[in-house]
């Protein structure tokens, strides 16, 4: 199983963050766009692609698998609700690598039948970014997921800060995703540097 591009995985809501965070050294970024008119959505996705190439970023498109296929994305991330309508065969046939969100054992079992390239577990801690049907999982659940999925890459997400990141890696995550701790930081570029530095501690990297 191939490793993920980076141990840090910012999730962003606008292409400008691909330039800012990518320019600071982030190499694995998810673009999560919501509630945009089709033309604006396409424009923002294409702009993010351009910036990703410029800054050597592996860009993951959230949700919009048809657009990912059309525009030649390398990665797409799907939530459980997306699995109801996504054409997984077409995604795989085009060579796009697939990440899937999971929150409990039922969802994990479903995700594994899709043969994903990583599974994400969350929320590890409480998050206020969106209403969640599941409570905080805790880092112990990462260790549980690691035992179940073997060598399949595991992403931790939900309420994760710089201070909490290392505990997720030590518990079994291969990469740690966050939204607010990057795009809500006073100095986002410095935050990327701090995350990258911490990810190399205790022989993790």
Q: Are 204 and 198 in contact (CB under 8 A)?
A: no
Q: For residues 126 and 159, is the Cβ–Cβ distance under 8 A? A: yes
Catalytic residue among 89, 130, 131, 147: 130
Instruction: Mark whether 32 is an active-site residue.
Output: yes
Taking the C-alpha atoms of residue 108 and residue 104, their distance in angstroms, rounded to an integer, is 6
Helix (H) or strand (E) segment spanning residue 171: helix 162-171
**Is 101 assigned a catalytic role?**
yes
Own/partner contacts of 178-181, CB < 8 Å, gap of 24 or more, are: 178/8, 178/9, 178/10, 178/11, 179/10, 179/11, 179/12, 179/13, 179/32, 179/129, 180/129
Cis peptide leading into residue 105 (ω within 30°): no
- SS3 at position 28: strand
Query: 101, 141, 175, 198: which one is catalytic?
Result: 101
Active site residues: 32, 101, 130
């Amino acid at each position: 199983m191939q490793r993920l591009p980076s141990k840090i995985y910012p999730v962003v809501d606008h292409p400008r963050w691909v330039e800012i965070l990518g320019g600071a050294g982030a190499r694995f970024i998810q673009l999560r766009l919501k509630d945009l008119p089709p033309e604006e959505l396409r424009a923002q996705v294409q702009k993010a692609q351009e910036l990703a190439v410029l800054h050597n970023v592996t860009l993951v498109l959230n949700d919009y698998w048809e657009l990912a296929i059309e525009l030649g994305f390398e990665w797409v991330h799907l939530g459980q609700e997306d699995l109801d309508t996504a054409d997984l065969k077409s995604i795989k046939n085009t060579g796009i690598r697939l990440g899937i969100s999971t929150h409990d054992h039922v969802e994990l079992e479903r995700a594994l039948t899709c043969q994903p390239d990583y599974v994400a577990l969350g929320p590890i801690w409480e998050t206020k970014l969106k209403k969640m049907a599941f409570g905080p999982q805790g880092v112990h659940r990462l260790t549980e997921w690691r035992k179940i999925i073997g060598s399949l890459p595991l992403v931790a997400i939900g309420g994760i800060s710089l201070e909490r990141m290392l505990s997720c890696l030590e518990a079994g995550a291969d990469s740690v995703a966050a939204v607010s701790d990057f795009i809500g930081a006073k100095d986002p570029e410095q935050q990327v540097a701090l995350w990258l530095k911490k990810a190399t501690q205790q022989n993790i990297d």
